[in-house]
Structure 1
Amino acid sequence: MKVCVIGSGLGGLLAACSFAKKGYKVDVYEKLPYPGGRFTNIDYKGYQLSTGALHMIPYSGNGPLGTMLKKLDADVEIVDSKPQVLFNIEGENLTIGEIAKVFPLRYKVGLLKLLAKLKLNEGDKESFAWWVKKQVNSELALKIADAFTGWSLSLDASEVSSKEVLKEIKNFYKYSGPGVPMGGCRGVTRALLEVLSAEGGKLHLKNSVEKIYGDKHAEGVIVEGEKKNYDLIVSNVGLKATASLAGELFPENYKKSIMNIKSSWGIKISVASDKPMLDFSGVLLTPYAERIHGINEVTNVSPVLAPQGKHLIMSHQILKPDRNVKLEIEKGLKDLKKLFPDFNKHCKILATQVHRKNWPVNRVPSGKVISPRTPLRNIVNVGDAIKPLGMIETDGIAGGVKEAINYVEREFS
């Protein structure tokens, strides 16, 4: 079977390698001059900035992505973060077990019940913010909830269901995490490209797919003006872009159903430091910051991501579509300087990256579960629009690719 993969982001490469491993003839078309999409590195003054993701894998090497990489024989080392997460509260970095000490006595019983229910409760359609408020009606508890969902989903706790978030938390207990891939995002991308090449797959850079053509079903794609026939088309460019490429092949009601889906936006600030600003490799969630939701310092695990003796710090914050980008960045920088009193002495801003519109954090917000299937049997979607319930970021992408592969095997067996 001949397979066309549109886009060489993480979802596209995982799908391409999986189908190549099955003996299919695979071509990957990427319009950019480099592979990886929002999951690779940019070398800037010796620092390995990321094009999208924060050089982390949510469920470490044990989750869906780590498992799929092992199955594909991709040579990637993923180092578990220890501790996994700390919370910066009133100037102290606390573990989840230490949080109770900063809550007033009247909230402690409710807080203990909440912590127990995180492992047991299934949640519902209500927002995670409302679910938290029902357990312990505390401003700090809501701020912690916002910090977690802001960092992991680029959503406020009021914008995502309790069912989604509680499933995510259960997955953290199940798989552990987060973890840092050695070499960052590019370490994963490079390993997948090696697998693709070894299995006979081909990557075509600076080759833009202009159209999916056919008569009632997809027969192939037009690339740089040339028709190419394929049995299966796997799209990693998002639901809307895929529908645009398919044109009249997709029914109008389907196209209308996806056009109103809003993406999740965010701002990432990358900082150089001449000393470690964090003393661990996990995530520091920042409930009391005005804008920033969390920070990591992956060079504590993978020092090759910065020049020798230097460190790379990355912060993440939500960007609301109606907010002024310049002002939001200024507020994020103000947060960093407040969190680290010696920031000006040891740190320097490398880049501020705004992820929105055609280059968002997530093309479909977490919690909105969409099938990889499309109206046409031989076109499937992968990528950050296709994430199973409770699977976030790159692990969600891997989970969606697995669903797409299972669907293809059922349909074409």
Structure 2
Amino acid sequence: MTKGLAGKRVVVIGTGIGGSGVSALLAREGAQVLVLERNSFPGGKAASFEHQGFIYDTGVHWLSRGDKGPLGEIADLVGAEVSYRSLEPAMQFTAQGRTATLYQGMDDEEVLELLFEEIGVLPENRPGARALFKDLARERSPRELEELDEVSFSDYCVRFVDDEQLNRLLDGFTGMYMCISRRAASAAEFILCFSNQVKAKNLCYPLGGMRAVPMAYLEALESMGGEVRYSTPVERIVVESGRVRGVEAGEFIPADLVISNTGIKETVALAGRHNFPDHYLSRVDALRLSFGAVSVKYALDAEVVKPHLFCYFPDFRDPQQAERQAAIFVPVPTAADPSLAPPGCQLVLAGSLAPPGLEDREQAAAVCGEILDRIENTMRDLFPDIEDHIVWKIRTDTRYIAEISGRWTGEVIGLAQNRHQVGKNRPSQVTPVEGLYLVGADAGGRGVGTEMAADSALNLWRLLLHS
């Protein structure tokens, strides 16, 4: 217990990974923590649902480090129990008609040589490809990373090699890690994601579904005297004379600190734009979002889809295939945890990216509907028998993610990890309103989406411990 936080009244808005994580960490220090969740269930983008004996996730998840990264660090600190399962080979990747098997040890020379051969890296480009992967995996100081924050990942790569097939692979990695393009992504952020994953060798999935993580944090919170109120949307963050006083959520709830897990743009709106200086508002308004997410969730009565995790790009040299299919990322959660489906059944989540910032509902429905059709085309082409084994399927678009997360648009991660919005250019967790803080993927963290939210929770906890 920390004297400075003991007894402090803290309201946390949202039960996503960042909100649930920081709430448990602050309760550990003796703070009086109340978490307000707009939905009747926990988790936000990390929520899971039950339907006809299947448990499926809001998003399309597979974690890069699990208990060996910030998710595990929070669990250890607050006494939460979450189990993960890692599978080998790690995943499969297909591009331009060629398929490669990816293993956890991507710092191993033999593994890389096999990868380059399978994916079709030209022989004359392989020395450069080897040098690139060696540089990606090596340890770097914070200063070295900072020097690459504002370098695009594509510009960084061409320092070593420019190979069409390898570029497709790197496009796939960038999409999985950060949900933006290789040209927009920060080189430093990609390097951090990749090197951490290579070091941990723990690409994995949480047993019980993604909801197992926030639920474990919230159970730890409640065991330490904290409280969670569901179906309680926050209508307003109350600010007086430049300081937070509490929130309106059906009633006025006083607080010494308010921590928002609902996104920086949404937080400014809840607190009132008039409470922030013009330069801060200009910065917030200019922030760019990651791509949105759409998915088709399949409940199958047999094991139809293999392998357990794959990334697929259509062969863009074939005009018909390029028009008909979508680039997809497909986890099979039941491969890691068979209890997520009835015996002998399979749960498959097929996801793809959608344009960012689709606030208009009709536009979102039209744009996402076309992408969802292409996802289904792709799955039928890859697995011709899939339609014969469907128990049910659910199509989710950016509006679905927006409604669950409480954000205006259905971006996958939050703020894009582009070269203008990472490191020192990432928004601070401390806002100009005294006592109002940000947590989650929008501020204070680094790394792959879900883990970035956990990293943000840890960093805010440390900041408040020493403030």
* TM, length-normalised to structure 1: 0.91
SS across alignment from 2:393: strand
Select which of 327, 336, 358 maps to 2:409.
358
Deviations 1:97-122 (A, max 9, x none): 32211223232222222222222385
State yes or no: 1:222 paired with 2:265: no
Select which of 276, 283, 287 maps to 1:261.
287
Select which of 85, 91, 94 maps to 1:88.
94
Select which of 71, 74, 78 maps to 1:72.
78
Give the distance between the partners of 2:228 and 2:466, measured in 1 at CA: 26
Would the aligned equivalents of 2:328 and 2:375 in 1 still touch at CA under 8 Å?
no
Tell me the amino acid that sits aligned with residue 27 of structure 2: A
Give the distance between the partners of 2:198 and 2:122, measured in 1 at CA: 27
Q: Tell me which residue corresponds to 1:146.
A: 171
State yes or no: 1:51 paired with 2:58: yes
Give the distance between the partners of 1:93 and 1:30, measured in 2 at CA: 42
Tell which deviates more after alignment, 162-171 or 286-295.
286-295
Select which of 160, 184, 195 maps to 1:159.
184
Alignment of 1:393-412 (within 5 A): 393-411=449-467
State the 1:354 CA deviation: 1.5
Q: Tell me which residue corresponds to 1:35.
A: 42
State yes or no: 1:60 paired with 2:66: yes
Q: Rate the CA distance shift 1:315–1:153 in 2: closer, same or farther, 3 A.
A: farther
Give the distance between the partners of 2:215 and 2:72, measured in 1 at CA: 15
SS across alignment from 1:267: strand
Give the distance between the partners of 1:25 and 1:348, measured in 2 at CA: 45
Give the distance between the partners of 2:215 and 2:36, measured in 1 at CA: 16
State yes or no: 1:116 paired with 2:166: no
SS across alignment from 1:135: coil
Tell which deviates more after alignment, 286-295 or 3-12.
286-295
Q: Rate the CA distance shift 1:306–1:58 in 2: closer, same or farther, 3 A.
A: same
Deviations 1:82-111 (A, max 9, x none): 222332353544226322112232322222
State yes or no: 1:169 paired with 2:191: no
Tell me the amino acid that sits aligned with residue 58 of structure 1: S
Give the distance between the partners of 1:172 and 1:278, measured in 2 at CA: 25
SS across alignment from 1:334: helix
Q: Rate the CA distance shift 1:140–1:308 in 2: closer, same or farther, 3 A.
A: same
Give the distance between the partners of 1:387 and 1:308, measured in 2 at CA: 42
Tell me the amino acid that sits aligned with residue 301 of structure 2: D
Q: Rate the CA distance shift 1:347–1:115 in 2: closer, same or farther, 3 A.
A: farther
Would the aligned equivalents of 2:21 and 2:214 in 1 still touch at CA under 8 Å?
no
Give the distance between the partners of 2:335 and 2:314, measured in 1 at CA: 24
Q: Tell me which residue corresponds to 2:216.
A: 191
Would the aligned equivalents of 1:81 and 1:280 in 2 still touch at CA under 8 Å?
no
State the 1:341 CA deviation: 4.0
Select which of 6, 22, 31 maps to 1:15.
22
Deviations 1:130-189 (A, max 9, x none): 333443222211111111111222111112022211121111122233211110112223
Tell me the amino acid that sits aligned with residue 269 of structure 1: V
Deviations 1:338-377 (A, max 9, x none): 3334433445661121136433212211242222111123
Q: Rate the CA distance shift 1:259–1:169 in 2: closer, same or farther, 3 A.
A: same
Q: Tell me which residue corresponds to 2:438.
A: 381
SS across alignment from 2:371: helix
Give the distance between the partners of 1:352 and 1:91, measured in 2 at CA: 28
Select which of 428, 431, 446 maps to 1:371.
428
Tell me the amino acid that sits aligned with residue 80 of structure 2: A
Would the aligned equivalents of 1:147 and 1:293 in 2 still touch at CA under 8 Å?
no
Give the distance between the partners of 1:107 and 1:277, measured in 2 at CA: 37
Select which of 289, 295, 300 maps to 1:273.
300
Q: Rate the CA distance shift 1:128–1:277 in 2: closer, same or farther, 3 A.
A: farther
* TM, length-normalised to structure 2: 0.81
Deviations 1:204-234 (A, max 9, x none): 112222222222211212221x222211111
Give the distance between the partners of 1:135 and 1:288, measured in 2 at CA: 26
Deviations 1:229-287 (A, max 9, x none): 21111111110111112213222321221123232212122122333345554x32224
Give the distance between the partners of 2:299 and 2:230, measured in 1 at CA: 31
Deviations 1:56-97 (A, max 9, x none): 322121001112112211121112232223323535442263
Give the distance between the partners of 2:430 and 2:266, measured in 1 at CA: 15
Tell which deviates more after alignment, 165-174 or 42-51.
42-51
Give the distance between the partners of 1:91 and 1:278, measured in 2 at CA: 18
Q: Tell me which residue corresponds to 2:402.
A: none
Tell me the amino acid that sits aligned with residue 65 of structure 1: L
SS across alignment from 1:327: helix
Would the aligned equivalents of 1:305 and 1:312 in 2 still touch at CA under 8 Å?
yes
- The number of equivalent residue pairs is 407
Tell me the amino acid that sits aligned with residue 318 of structure 1: L
- Gaps spanning 5+ residues in structure 2: where? 1-7, 103-110, 316-324, 359-365, 400-407
Would the aligned equivalents of 1:387 and 1:399 in 2 still touch at CA under 8 Å?
yes
Alignment of 1:286-325 (within 5 A): 286-288=312-314, 290-321=325-356, 324-325=367-368
Would the aligned equivalents of 1:127 and 1:161 in 2 still touch at CA under 8 Å?
yes
Q: Tell me which residue corresponds to 2:378.
A: 335
State yes or no: 1:206 paired with 2:241: no
RMSD: 2.3
State yes or no: 1:231 paired with 2:237: no
Tell me the amino acid that sits aligned with residue 112 of structure 1: R
SS across alignment from 2:379: helix
Give the distance between the partners of 1:293 and 1:110, measured in 2 at CA: 28
Give the distance between the partners of 1:340 and 1:364, measured in 2 at CA: 35
Give the distance between the partners of 1:293 and 1:5, measured in 2 at CA: 35
